[in-house]
Structure 1
Amino acid sequence: MTHKVHTNKPTAPGPVKRVILFVLDSVGIGALPDAGEFGDTGANTLKSLLASGPEVKLPNLIKLGLGHIEGVDYVPRTQAPAAAFGRMSELSNGKDTTTGHWEIAGLKISEPFQTFPDGFPPHIINAFEAQTGRKALCNKPASGTEVIETFGKEHMETGNPIVYTSADSVFQIAAHEEVVGLEELYRMCEIAREILRGKDQVARVIARPFVGKPGAFTRTSNRRDYSLKPFAPTVLDKAMDAGYDVQAVGKIHDIFNGQGITEEVHTKDNMDGIDKTLDYLKTDSTGIIFTNLVDFDAKFGHRRDAEGYRLALEAFDQRLPELLDAMKPEDLLILLADHGNDPGFKGSDHTREYVPLLVTGHYVKEGTALGTRETFADIAQTTAEILGLEAMSLGRSLAKEILK
């Protein structure tokens, strides 16, 4: 992990010099009004995961005001919320990771990325096999853990990659690190990324390496996402171009294909993501720290493991005070999510939901009710105003509402 902090830093117009965007991946708080169009009527990620345990153990999120957010009446309220609070609607047409994060950064996705609910058609698979020199196994929507158990033995015997998708716009390639190797797996992903453009465009190609033996396979932390470049400048680009630091933690670098990011660090799990964020908080950077904690989604939401999800959120809550204590007076923390992934819902895929919004920092007016925001892009617009950047074309800034 490197800390390449700009020496000639721009001066933010107000007291806040650094915005920490902290995404609790998939922690939705209830179905959006159009959820039925996505098959997600009644979904509520937070409610489902909390129902899996005897009591709510989220004292620090509750202290910030989680229970004061509209619709979150299943979480206790606190007498005096320590943060500004609200909920956010997704304006874009989708419910995937890329769509959510790009909207947080200021872009609206009108045409959803391609999905392949029946697997990839012959012209895609034929091109992939011809260019990689390997046959594709599986080629259908599947759970990542189940697919390696089903096809892992054949993969080890043949060296053929396991290709699968989901309801999201993804082309996933699983391969054993000791059979195919990471370099070859990443090469195959780069080939697939070039194939899956135009009318076959998917949001992400994902490398899914694993290790172990039949009956005891485990995925490793060497996952890599190959995303498209955003189609227009995001608030990250504007911050970087203005001379600010844009520090990416977790899969943020992959989601934006490196665009608008000055330095990045990948993470092994949620706790590592918190550790790496704390490392960046200790630097004298100004601008943006953008963190994603993916375990909620990847390890628990997709696997419909409500109890595991609850325990992971409780583990985050226990470490939240560390983040708050590490913040400088000129820091602003924005906690939110990018979509839902209800562990109590049918299937194994994301759900179209509102996401929570909690904003805290030395200069934030505590207890400010922010209501229901029309778009995640309010975050980009807020960040742009705070850092003195050119306004985004989408979203409404919260700066005047939240800052003292």
Structure 2
Amino acid sequence: MRRFKRIIVIVLHSVGIGATADPGEFGDQGADTLGHVCQYWQGTLKLPTLTRLGLGNIPRESPLMGVSAVKPLTSQVGKMKPASADIDSLNGHWELMGTFVNPPLDTFPNGFPLPLINRIETFSNRKVLLNRPASVIAALKGFGEQESKEGDLIVYSSNDSVLQVSANEAVVSVNELYRICRYIRFMVDESRLRIGRIIARPFVGESPSDFKLTNNRQDLTIVPPTDTALELLTERHVPVAGIGSLIDLFSGRGITTQFDSRESNFKQLLEAVKTQVTGLVFADLGSLDEAGHARNPRGYGLALMQIDSQLNKIMTQLTPTDLMMITADQGNDPTYSGTGHTREYVPLIAASPNANGGQLGIRSTLSDLGATILSNFKIHNQLPGTSFLDQIS
């Protein structure tokens, strides 16, 4: 069996490829992130790198408009079905690395309990605004001006198990916002509430027309209940470079190398590919999920085309001993109702220079990816998932 010196995993945040067989449980019938974005662009969405890698060869009920199947297929392609009980970034990333959130985390469709809000106000000495589920764009447009004038905190949730806190950096410093969110994380962990992420979402701007998020986001997550593939790798002295929000999603556990967070995720990934020649490079390229939540298919397509161009630059750095795997954590159909994630299959592309192409089929869990990584580095474990390394080899 061929093994690789280095594996590069790239998570295209929220790029689903069609509803699973169980979307009715989540109210997501008919969701299809990639399919609907391609339809919105009427076949003009330019994804040459992903097309060359076999995106159009992944089995679907109907072809992706404007994304053709390629012959001969030089990559191994398929799709994976999420097995987690919830659909959000935390669950998706954890499942990729072989662990699950069980039982499901708490969500807050009617806002957070007043005792929690009161404690946030007392600790911060600031008034809480909103306290309802909302997209970050709606939260800033609706309450950013009041927050900026009065020094309040915008606290909001989503369909996921998150508590988000936004404040204008000119009014509430980033360090103060981090301090408030650390207190909320501690307070929640000491209570009976099970909230997956406390997220600091600072923004800048002087009016609703120019409010925008900064790169100073910070996610404070619950700790994975079991070891993940990342920790098993580092225990065996396999280097693991982490890039993007996934570092926070795993609470930094199992990550041996981080890069300058002031740089874009792509620049960090390019630096990692150039400098770390063995082990795992695990990257989340981001930038897509916000367009999904905002139900903005045009913005989603523009971001996807930019990422496609970036992937081409990564491809030029691969050696014959590299394996690159491209996937996603969940769907977020920007043409769907509401603002939440959507229960979908995620694409799976495994590519290596001079490798043969083929089909990996429909995998029953995202954990097959983590199992494949561990198998490659000869790490025996009892985490869920079935390796497909032999099919790649």
TM-score with structure 2 setting the length:
0.95
- Does the CA-based 8 Å contact 2:74-2:358 persist in structure 1? no
Would you say 1:375 and 2:365 are equivalent positions? Answer: yes
2:350 maps to amino acid: V
Specify the alignment match of 1:282 in structure 2: 274
Would you say 1:57 and 2:57 are equivalent positions? Answer: no
2:120 maps to amino acid: F
Q: Compute the displacement of 1:229 (Å).
A: 1.4
SS at match of 1:62: helix
- Does the CA-based 8 Å contact 1:385-1:391 persist in structure 2? no
Distance 2:142 2:309 in 1: 37
Q: Compute the displacement of 1:292 (Å).
A: 0.5
Moved more, 82-91 or 276-285: 276-285
- Does the CA-based 8 Å contact 1:249-1:266 persist in structure 2? no
Specify the alignment match of 1:321 in structure 2: 312
Specify the alignment match of 2:27 in structure 1: 39
Distance 1:89 1:351 in 2: 12
Distance 1:15 1:383 in 2: 10
Specify the alignment match of 2:335 in structure 1: 344
SS at match of 2:20: coil
Match of 1:230 among 206, 224, 229: 224
SS at match of 2:40: coil
Q: Compute the displacement of 1:327 (Å).
A: 1.5
Specify the alignment match of 1:331 in structure 2: 322
Moved more, 32-41 or 283-292: 283-292
Q: Compute the displacement of 1:79 (Å).
A: 1.2
Alpha carbons of structure 1 residues 54 and 41: separation in structure 2 relative to 1, 3 Å = closer
1:203 maps to amino acid: G
Specify the alignment match of 2:151 in structure 1: 159
- Does the CA-based 8 Å contact 1:170-1:204 persist in structure 2? yes
Alpha carbons of structure 1 residues 332 and 314: separation in structure 2 relative to 1, 3 Å = same
Specify the alignment match of 2:132 in structure 1: 140
Specify the alignment match of 1:393 in structure 2: 383
- Does the CA-based 8 Å contact 1:43-1:345 persist in structure 2? yes
Specify the alignment match of 1:10 in structure 2: none
Distance 2:11 2:177 in 1: 28
Superposed CA deviations along residues 55-79 of structure 1, whole A, max 9, x for unmatched, are 2421221111111111162231111
1:42 maps to amino acid: G
Alpha carbons of structure 1 residues 60 and 349: separation in structure 2 relative to 1, 3 Å = same
Specify the alignment match of 1:255 in structure 2: 249
Distance 1:63 1:296 in 2: 21
5 Å matches for 1:62-73?
62-71=51-60, 73=63
Q: Compute the displacement of 1:312 (Å).
A: 1.4
Moved more, 289-298 or 127-136: 127-136
SS at match of 2:205: strand
- Does the CA-based 8 Å contact 1:250-1:265 persist in structure 2? no
Any unmatched runs of 5+ in structure 2?
A: none
Q: Compute the displacement of 1:363 (Å).
A: 6.5
